[in-house]
Amino acid sequence: MTAEDPASAFVPGPRAALAPTGRGPLDGTSFAAKDLFDVAGHPTTYGNPDWARTHPVAAATAPAILALLDAGSRLVGKTKTVELAFGLTGENIHHGTPLNPRAPDRFPGGSSCGSAAAVAAGTVDIALGSDTGGSVRIPASYCGVWGMRPSWGAVSLTGARALGPAFDTCGWFARSARLLRLAGEALLPLDTVPDSTLGPVLKAQTAWINAEPATAAAVLPAFEALEHLVNLGVAVRVEGYPGVLERTFEAFRCIQAQEAWATLGSWIAATGPSFGPGVGERFAAARDMDPGKVADARRFRLRFAQRLRAVLAGGGVMAYPTSPIPAPLLSATQAEQDAVRARTMGVTAIAGLAGLPEVSIPAGLVDGAPVGLSLVAAPGRDRALLALAERLSVELGLDA
């Protein structure tokens, strides 16, 4: 696969490549970075040619990239992103949609589509992405790789483009749980609760019910192995009130709209960029969002986050299917994609609204297409969560 192949995981043009600057836990590994992170001397396209045309070449390299280089990893290039990171399928009509190596007739998921695809193809060991409303977790689930959305604010987004700062996080993908954890050692601060043991595992019923039965069935064995490992035979269930996922989706959608327009609206209004299907419509909806709805959503968020954090304060880990269904087929209509988006984001909004860390584990297949199981903990327990994911991986025989 070359950079010119429209299904490549990498952005067109010369590869942004950098040798390691130190030695450490990532010695001998390679990584890629979503093309919203700056690499000195290279353009940052943010997935859109008009963005690239109206912004200067980067003068400095993003600290998250520097941290991986310092830990011994080698940067091999920058990967495709949905335009301005505003979309979950991974489609990009300007640069070409990356191939989903595990399900070639389906979308790779987005917005960090190229990063997930590059790891799934085995081209790199690790890849940086960003996750606002699911942009690491969903492509991890769709492409069958390990994905991490850290606690909000835990990993630097300096030198990276923003979409909705209230939700934006710097996440990453890896081809194994061990590499996912080692990348975290290079990127994360120390846990705010040191030496914590995570548990119990909580089966978040509402998210399980939201998933298609085939998806729930596919990830159940991994969940049961986790429950056995941590709960030692005690089943613990948590339930949301009726309609909570519609409420989380609505709150997330309204706040994200305000954030996205406050962040990117000035540039869009001044430039009039050319957008692919769905992207321009989403920004138009963001522009026209009712401020009263956003104020309600922010009040809901405050209460929701407070309650969920209280549930998880003692070390509990919620587990549920990352996405309710596998990746949509490339032939899906825009209306079908929008329906999947709403149903998916009710679940991804849980960690988004509350700022929680979430790991997606490649846990099963539906009709041959990958689906993930998510583990979600209280903010500041990122390292403990990655360690737990690695224990589960060993238990399941997934890590070499």
Positions that interact with a second copy (CB under 8 A)? 21-22, 38, 55-63, 66, 70, 152-153, 156-159, 162, 164-166, 189-190, 192, 258-259, 261-263, 265-271, 287, 291, 295, 302, 305-306, 309
Question: What do you get for the CA distance between the two ends of the chain, in Å?
Answer: 26
Q: Which of 347, 351, 375 is nearest to 363 (CA)?
A: 375
Q: How many CA atoms within 13 Å lie on the side-chain side of 78?
A: 26
The one-letter amino acid code at 264 reads: L
Q: Which is closer to a second copy, CB of 270 or CB of 335?
A: 270
CB 331 within 8 A of CB 190: no
Interatomic CA distance for residues 118 and 139, integer angstroms: 11
Closest to a second copy by CB, 234 vs 295, is 295
**Minimum separation from the CB atom of position 77 to a second copy (A):** 19
DSSP 366-387: ETTEEEEEEEE--TT-HHHHHH
Phi and psi at residue 349, in whole multiples of 5°? -70, -15
* 107 exposure class (CB count in 10 Å sphere: 0-12, 13-18, 19+): buried
CB nearer a second copy, residue 190 or residue 335? 190
State the nearest-atom distance from the C-beta of 263 to a second copy, in Å: 6
* CB closer to a second copy out of 62 and 327: 62
Contact residues for 314 (Cβ-Cβ < 8 A; gap 6+): none
Q: What phi, psi does 275 have (nearest 5°)?
A: -115, 150
Spatial distance between the Cα atoms of 85 and 71, rounded to a whole number of angstroms: 27
CB of 164 to a second copy, least distance (A): 7
Least Å distance, CB 335 to a second copy, is 29
Coil, helix or strand at residue 358? strand
Q: Which of 319, 387, 388, 325 is nearest to 350 (CA)?
A: 319
Q: Is 237 left (phi over 0), alpha (psi -120 to 50) or beta?
A: beta
Q: How far is the CB of 106 from a second copy (least distance, A)?
A: 34
Q: Least separation, in Å, of the C-beta of 119 and a second copy? A: 25
- Of 306 and 334, CB closest to a second copy: 306
Q: Report the interhelical angle of 291-312 vs 244-271 (nearest 10°).
A: 130
The residue assigned the tokens 């300007």 is 94
Least distance to a second copy from the beta carbon of 292, Å?
A: 9
Compare residues 106 and 161 and give the one whose CB is closer to a second copy.
Answer: 161
Tell me 103's DSSP state.
-
| DSSP assignments along 198-220, one per residue | P--EEEEHHHHHHS-HHHHHHHH
Give 120 or 354: the residue with its C-beta nearer to a second copy: 354
Nearer to a second copy, 148 or 268 (CB): 268
CA angle (66 as vertex; 65, 72 as ends), nearest 5 = 95
Q: How far is the CB of 18 from a second copy (least distance, A)?
A: 12
Of the CA atoms within 13 Å of residue 381, those in its CB half-sphere come to: 26
Active site residues: 34, 111, 135
